[in-house]
Amino acid sequence: MKSPAFFRFCRLAFTGLVLAALTGRALAQPTDDFPPKAKPSEAGWGFYKGWASGWAGLHQKLLARTAQGGVDILFLGDSLTALWDKEGKTVWDARFAPLKAANYGIGGNSTRQVIWRLENGEIDNLNPKLVVLMIGTNNIYSDHNSGTDAEITEGVAKIVGLIHAKAPAAKVLLLGVLPRQNAFFTNRTAALNKELSAYASKSKIQFIDASAKFLNAGGTITPALFKSDQVHLSTEGYTILADAIQPAVTALLKP
């Protein structure tokens, strides 16, 4: 006759197998090749070919930051978020750091990489009050992360769903994708932002599209607000972005 301890062990083992089956895809480890092409709503590891260890290292650093806790505002996204620590550092230190903000941006990320990161523990038990999400510009290339505007929006929705699942009390401030380089990209980001705005309205989350602040009267980007690549922001650009989002950040932090 089997003991009660034996049956408890069997139940635990079965539970573990079920959890492993459910999370096996999310726990797949990065390789040194690009992730297989998939929709923007499907998880994929780091963007740069041949850099799995470096990308995984950045992920591990963010896991370590999460373990420290003490984050009220989490900025989540790609290099435009990551560079709050460089070109945007002065304004970050003055305006957001005192609010217990943490930067969870990784360069080259699309919606797919952010989904992978969230499915692999980056905000588990962190419980921020607010997540400021800006992602999608890296989904508009013709590569393994690309998709239509509707598909990119589905990827953003997947991210928001993961945030709400892992940090139920967190509010989300969704930022529009900023204009860049030339008419092709600026027209594409404008179309994408219409999709994101409609999604945010339907989902009852706040959306800010600051694009107009980065365009001149002719509808092209204002060079002084960008670095020489005309994609990433200059220090002045981060000041403009901070001006655009700070009132919403302040309001959303209120109980």
Q: Which of 35, 82, 90 is nearest to 59 (CA)?
A: 82
DSSP-derived secondary structure letter, 95: I
Q: Give the sign of the dihedral formed by CA 138, CA 144, CA 147, CA 153.
A: negative
Task: Based on the residue annotation, tell me whether 232 is a catalytic residue of this protein.
Answer: yes
What's the full length of the chain, in residues? Answer: 255
Q: What are the angstrom distances between the C-alpha of 103 and each of 46, 65, 97, 116, 197?
A: 17, 10, 10, 17, 24
Distance CA 176, CA 173 (A): 10
Task: Based on the residue annotation, tell me whether 229 is a catalytic residue of this protein.
Answer: yes
Of these residues, 209, 211, 232, 234, which one is catalytic?
A: 232
* H runs (alpha helix) in 3-97: 4-23, 52-68, 79-82, 89-91
Under DSSP, is residue 240 helix (H, G, I), strand (E, B) or coil? helix
Q: What are the angstrom distances between the C-alpha of 163 and each of 168, 173, 194?
A: 7, 11, 22
Of these residues, 41, 59, 79, 110, which one is catalytic?
A: 79
Under DSSP, is residue 208 helix (H, G, I), strand (E, B) or coil? strand
Residues acting as catalytic residues: 79, 229, 232
